[in-house]
Structure 1
Amino acid sequence: MRRSLYFLLLLIVGTTQLSACAQAGTDQPAAAPAAVRPGQPLPWLDSLLNSSPVLRQHQVGLSLAYADSARPFYGFQDSKYFTPASNMKLFSFYAGLHLLGDSLPSLRYFSRHDTLFFQGTGDPTLLHGDVPSRRAYSFLLNRPEKVLAYGDIRCVTPFGPGWTWDDYGYYFQPERGAFPIYGNTVRFYATPTAPAKTRAGGTASARPAGPVSRVRVLPRYFVPLVGPATPELLTPGLDKDTHVLRDLQENRFHVLPSNKKWVDETPFVTSRGLMLRLLGDTLRRATANAAWRPRPGQDSIRTLHGLRVDSLYRRMLRVSDNFLAEQLLLMCSTTIGSHDSLSTGRVIRYARRRLLPGLPDPVHWVDGSGLSRLNLVTPRTLTALLLKLHQEVPEPRLLSLLAAGGGQGTLRKRYHDAAGPWVWGKTGTLSNNLNVCGYLRTKSGRLVAFTFMNNNHVTDSGDMRNEVERVLRLVRERL
């Protein structure tokens, strides 16, 4: 009897507690979804990536981590190696943050009697069309010495390992060097007009018969080297946006017929002699080639500093400027090891050993820009780098340097939202490879570091970008 009463009492108490819980559930708002824990599976995301017809036939990797956490909470093939393309610029950026100060080293110099000896440091901003700095220009222009003597320094080859040779004439692959000028490119500005003779002041007649554009050439030194494209150059495979062709091994430029307004950049073949001629023409001062032989204890070598580093970082990351990224590593090399050379490899070895020793997987890193397909990295390693950047760089500064969805840079045409940007990142694109990594703000307000890599796809690039955006929008909604 007592036992029956005991079980009856337990039943009454349990029923009362369940009723109270149910009542509390109706009187209080539902609790927010708990944050995803590290290692917790996301079946809906696995299913989405596995079932997508756009993603099905190529290599796909995705890594996610809350920006304030220590490690990723989701990975889809994130330990596999991918060709990162321009995502590699984030590694160059990280090296610059640690090896450069708040301004770029523009040149090294010392003075002896009536001669100023100067040497390049890899600074790309001298008379650059997009990130120009007048510091070195004004310095050389106003020095009291009678002679400006350039002392050469050993440097990397003009093209990096694994670069595509037939991209030599495209704006995105200028030659690397110790003392760039004009960004190592020729700029062409075309305006529609009737055929006319060559005019002074930088206008070249590069037109076949019929309505074409008048072309202004900068720097003007190259005007005599510009002419109209001959019929044999007008091959059916030319891209519709190609306006200028350059000979493979010399500075001869051929303008294609057009009656539209356009602007184009074409890299020129660099050399020490050409650099001195361009510099002398610009400064209107005698510039000579000389050996760099400072006397120990007598010649004091100094470094002239120029543009603020964020100006270069912002341009490099937002629009994915390959030339700036390559030159950034050369400038970094002036701060470590020997001063007798500019070496990309020296910086890469230093960064891997001293700056980034704890990454999940070794990075196969061969250049500063990501132009080389020899670069290889895993999604979880890129995400780990994003976490380090977020820990070391104030968030407002970090996000302001990246492309922003619906805002600026390579993401300006995508990820729109009326409330403002919710994606900040770095794209990485080569033929058949489309990657993006960075940070996204979820609907719940958390900042997520993400790496989304797609290699060896044969799908239309527009369809690929649409699918990547669709996946990231769902991540934003559900986390």
Structure 2
Amino acid sequence: MQALPMKLKPVFLFLIGSSILFSSCATLKGKYRRDLLNKSLVGSPLFNSHFTGFALYDPEDSTYLYKLNDDKYFTPASNTKLLTFYAGLTMMRDSIPGLRYKIINDSLFFTGTGDPTFLHPDFEQQPILEMLQDTSYSLHYVKPDFNDDQFAPGWSWEDYEYYFQPERSAFPIYGNTIRYAYDSIKDSFAVEPKFFSAFAETRTIDSEKKSPYRLKNTNIFSFAPDTARSNYKNSVPFKTSDELTIALLEDTLKRKVNWAKGFNFNSSQLAYSRPSAQLFALMLKRSDNLAAEHILYLCASEMNLPLNAEAVIRYAQEHNLKIYPNPPVWKDGSGLSRYNLMTPRGMIEVLNHISTKVSINEMKQLLSIGGVDGTLKDWYKPREGESPYVFAKTGTLSNNHNLTGIIQTQSGKHLFFSFMNNNYPTGSRPVKLEMEKVMRLIYERY
């Protein structure tokens, strides 16, 4: 090797020395940050009172910045919706298949695709409703080829009456729930759809909060709505059936709907209802369980798979969402199932998969934004003069609370994280408060 000229040697040595110094400073800074996180996580009496896992990842460098129990399995609750989101991104088009239909002579035969937005009160525009209203063809409802139970494995049977657990079906209608809508002028609640008015008692708020709100195997309701609740929480799931679907269709369309059994849908068409992104946002921001479960059926409709959640989940894991070495135990679309299991590292891999389909900025807008909207509206609020910094999916069941998503640090970096807490004996509030301290530390120090 040719020796450097004498004039260049000092410059060369300076550059080498600067590089070593910079590398040493970066290493020390990284260690200092890890020590701070260790103190906040491992050194926390609260986090030590239950099972906690955490992973912090830099997607730009493909590097894990911190790991705690990252390869251990946790009950993810609604963090499962991130897996469902990726399935939807890879298996659905940019619009929702709202109806499968076939026209023969003067008759329109139709069946469900699993579209949960049909007559859903949160979606004002209803193109499938308009299609059925405006057609001159006679209408013939075909029993859907639905190969699932109303509840997924691992769901709590006693939650059948609560707004967050509507039944799964191939032809959801009105969100598969009745709603008690408040009229501020009349200062009273009305039942929607009106079809159920005669079967739904409206009670005043009382200290006992009488239960059940709906008799288990009937559509007879008794509920005490409250103006302090969000509109969608003043709702009760109804018992679904093909007979009820036809009755609701006739009541809404004001026309006859025939029932055609055993119809062959070869050479049929799909009618599309609305942009898929609208449904993804509802699922991720509100953590809507009906939307999550039925995204799997919409995937099945697009892929010509059976309307069966397990078949779609199996297909997604085999072809789209490969996670190694700790693949998820994935049992439903929403995360209501206690049988679901995921690792913090696995959740980071899901975020990496998602980022190959949508940009990080798009992900930030679809997820709940800390202090702004969705399930994070009251948490991770930026201080005065700051922009929001936490964009994430919550996941909460009794004694379990998780958070997976993106943190935008004060320095402008976007980091992926998964923060999982299982089996704490208290309510979730103390855990959330402690998690806020950790996320604030990351925001300020990274």
The alignment's TM-score, normalised by the length of structure 1, stands at 0.82
What are the equivalent positions in structure 2 for 1:11-410 lying under 5 Å apart? 34=26, 42-190=34-182, 214-227=188-201, 236=208, 238=209, 245-256=213-224, 263=231, 264-294=234-264, 300-338=267-305, 341-410=306-375
> Take 2:438 and 2:167, find their aligned partners in 1: how far apart are those partners?
37
Match of 2:432 in 1: 465
Contact 1:39 1:74 in 2 (8 A): no
Match of 2:6 in 1: none
- Secondary structure at 2:81's aligned position in 1? helix
Contact 2:370 2:389 in 1 (8 A): yes
Change (3 A) 1:408 1:291: same
Contact 2:101 2:265 in 1 (8 A): no
| 2:384 is the alignment partner of 1:416 | no
Match of 2:3 in 1: none
Contact 1:124 1:327 in 2 (8 A): yes
The Cα of 1:407 is off from its aligned counterpart by 1.2
Q: Aligned residues, how many?
A: 426
> Take 1:86 and 1:259, find their aligned partners in 2: how far apart are those partners?
26
AA aligned opposite 1:399: K
Deviation sequence 1:141-190 (CA, Å, 0-9, x none): 11121233334322311111110111111111000100111000101024
Contact 2:189 2:225 in 1 (8 A): no
> Take 1:367 and 1:445, find their aligned partners in 2: how far apart are those partners?
36
> Take 1:172 and 1:257, find their aligned partners in 2: how far apart are those partners?
15
Q: Which runs of 5+ in 1 are unaligned?
A: 1-16, 195-212
Contact 1:86 1:320 in 2 (8 A): yes
Match of 2:416 in 1: 449
> Take 2:441 and 2:395, find their aligned partners in 1: how far apart are those partners?
21
Of 131-140 and 462-471, more deviation after overlay is shown by 131-140
> Take 1:357 and 1:432, find their aligned partners in 2: how far apart are those partners?
29
> Take 1:431 and 1:132, find their aligned partners in 2: how far apart are those partners?
34
Change (3 A) 1:423 1:41: closer
Deviation sequence 1:396-439 (CA, Å, 0-9, x none): 21111010011111111122223211110000000000100100
Specify which of 361, 384, 405 is matched with residue 438 of structure 1: 405
Contact 1:121 1:330 in 2 (8 A): yes
Match of 1:203 in 2: none
> Take 2:298 and 2:381, find their aligned partners in 1: how far apart are those partners?
36
> Take 1:40 and 1:384, find their aligned partners in 2: how far apart are those partners?
26
Change (3 A) 1:359 1:35: farther
Deviation sequence 1:1-25 (CA, Å, 0-9, x none): xxxxxxxxxxxxxxxx9xx99xx99
Change (3 A) 1:467 1:364: same
Contact 1:66 1:448 in 2 (8 A): yes
> Take 1:172 and 1:36, find their aligned partners in 2: how far apart are those partners?
47
> Take 1:265 and 1:466, find their aligned partners in 2: how far apart are those partners?
29
The Cα of 1:228 is off from its aligned counterpart by 5.1
Deviation sequence 1:385-405 (CA, Å, 0-9, x none): 112222331222111101001
- Secondary structure at 2:435's aligned position in 1? helix
Contact 1:125 1:132 in 2 (8 A): no
Change (3 A) 1:228 1:422: closer
Change (3 A) 1:190 1:116: same
Contact 2:399 2:427 in 1 (8 A): no
State the Cα RMSD in Å: 3.0
Identity over aligned residues, as a percent?
Answer: 38
Match of 1:205 in 2: none
Deviation sequence 1:68-109 (CA, Å, 0-9, x none): 233423210111100000000000000000000110000111
Contact 1:115 1:145 in 2 (8 A): yes
> Take 2:406 and 2:308, find their aligned partners in 1: how far apart are those partners?
31
> Take 1:407 and 1:361, find their aligned partners in 2: how far apart are those partners?
34
Contact 1:95 1:332 in 2 (8 A): yes
Contact 1:114 1:147 in 2 (8 A): no
> Take 2:92 and 2:354, find their aligned partners in 1: how far apart are those partners?
16
Contact 1:362 1:377 in 2 (8 A): yes
- Computing the radius of gyration from Cα coordinates, the structure with the larger value is 1
AA aligned opposite 1:392: K
The Cα of 1:41 is off from its aligned counterpart by 8.6
- Secondary structure at 1:157's aligned position in 2? coil
Q: Which runs of 5+ in 2 are unaligned?
A: 1-9
The Cα of 1:45 is off from its aligned counterpart by 1.6
Change (3 A) 1:252 1:32: farther
The alignment's TM-score, normalised by the length of structure 2, stands at 0.88
Change (3 A) 1:227 1:79: same
Deviation sequence 1:277-328 (CA, Å, 0-9, x none): 00111111110211242376xxx31110111011001111011001100000
> Take 1:329 and 1:399, find their aligned partners in 2: how far apart are those partners?
23
